[in-house]
Chains A and B, each alone.
Chain A
Amino acid sequence: MWHASLTKGVGLGWCRTGAKGEVIIDEKFTLDEEIVTKLWDHTVEVTKTAD
């Protein structure tokens, strides 16, 4: 089963556990800050425009 985890200030974790909870994959990664910012700005804009 796939899970995602967030840790404030660190970013996302990406892991997969088996049927008994055993860890199969455990990866950490960070998101592209530029896309984070652009998507945020886009979302603010279109939801405000639609308000």
Chain B
Amino acid sequence: MNDIKTSNAAAFEALPRGAVAVFVGGTSGIGQAMFELFVRSTTGKAVTAIVVGRNQKAAEESFAALRAESKEENDLPTLKFISCDVTLMKNVRKATKEILDSHSKIHILVVSQGYLTLDSRTPTEEGLDRKLAVDYYSRWVFIHELIPALEKARSEGEKATVTSVLGLGKPGKGPIDPDDFGVEKNYGVARIAVTVSSYQNYMLQVSGSFSVILVIISWFLGICTALSGDRLYPCIPWRRPHSHHTKVQLDAFVGSSTPDPSFDHLYLCFRRDVRRVHVARIFN
């Protein structure tokens, strides 16, 4: 763990002054944890952190807490919130346009939005399945639309990374039906969960051609991280009516006696030259 912390500190140190980071889904769970770690780890660098999400109140509370604990008087981070319901691609494009209108370079993009559901296929007004829209399509659009700003940062010799927090699919073994990418037939909770993970693998493969560094966190780490911090747990739809019992089981499973131990691993996502140290790894 000390090695990881040292490594992470070096990664943040390497970020340029005025670095820009975007955290989609940064109002809760892993995304919020990564956003807060980023801000705390870059004090004095005049960074800009943009949180994209639906819960403005949660974002403002997070901003207030970070500002209150800051001891810096100069070069304070700029914290912005962009309201966006990512189930609709028109909203995603509006958000990316708003970001690009004010920032020509992006150094860190974290897409951690997620949608937990046991429902059957639920189309949005745009005709996309709601879970696919949040977990896959919106990720794709965010990355695709913001790639010019990431590439601009890299072209100037600065670090630029994309981190996608989602389950890890099994390439070649996923239930991908080339005739039914939208999963309009044979929709099921298990199938859709594996499908979105598999899609992400393919998305990352293709996005790699854009010379953007990509990281994927194992689903296990993600769940451990979220649950051990009690951040995701309130969002789990099937927790009631045995919430306490379930929580005890989950706590035992993930070992939450140590507060947020996995959050430290997330730092690794900001690096591109770390390989296989309890977390993902990377490219180029």
CB of A1 within 8 A of CB of B221, answer: yes
| Interchain Cβ contacts within 8 Å, total number | 109
Complex interface bits, B81-106 against A, C-beta within 8 A gives 1, otherwise 0: 00000001110010000000000000
CB of A1 within 8 A of CB of B205, answer: no
| Chain A residues within an 8 Å CB radius of B282 | 5-6
* Majority secondary structure of chain A interface residues (helix, strand, loop or mixed): mixed
Complex interface bits, A9-34 against B, C-beta within 8 A gives 1, otherwise 0: 10110110100010100000101101
| Chain B residues within an 8 Å CB radius of A38 | 178, 181
| Chain B residues within an 8 Å CB radius of A23 | 276
On whether A4 and B280 interact (CB within 8 A), knowing A12-B201, A31-B172, the answer reads yes
CB of A5 within 8 A of CB of B140, answer: no
Q: Is B50 part of the contact surface with A, judged by Cβ < 8 Å?
A: no
Q: Count residues on chain A whose CB falls below 8 Å from chain B CBs.
A: 32
A contact residues vs B (CB 8 Å cutoff): 1-9, 11-12, 14-15, 17, 21, 23, 29, 31-32, 34-36, 38-40, 42-43, 46-47, 49-51
Q: How far apart are the CA atoms of A38 and B283 in the complex, in Å?
A: 24
Q: How far apart are the CA atoms of A23 and B127 in the complex, in Å?
A: 43
Interface residues of B in 196-219 (CB under 8 A from A): 199, 201-206, 208-209, 211, 214, 216, 218-219
| Chain A residues within an 8 Å CB radius of B89 | 47, 50-51
Q: Is B281 part of the contact surface with A, judged by Cβ < 8 Å?
A: yes
Q: Is B58 part of the contact surface with A, judged by Cβ < 8 Å?
A: no
CB of B171 within 8 A of CB of A12, answer: yes
On whether A4 and B168 interact (CB within 8 A), knowing A11-B205, A35-B176, the answer reads yes
CB of A1 within 8 A of CB of B208, answer: no
Which of A1, A3, A14 has most B Cβ within 10 Å?
Answer: A3
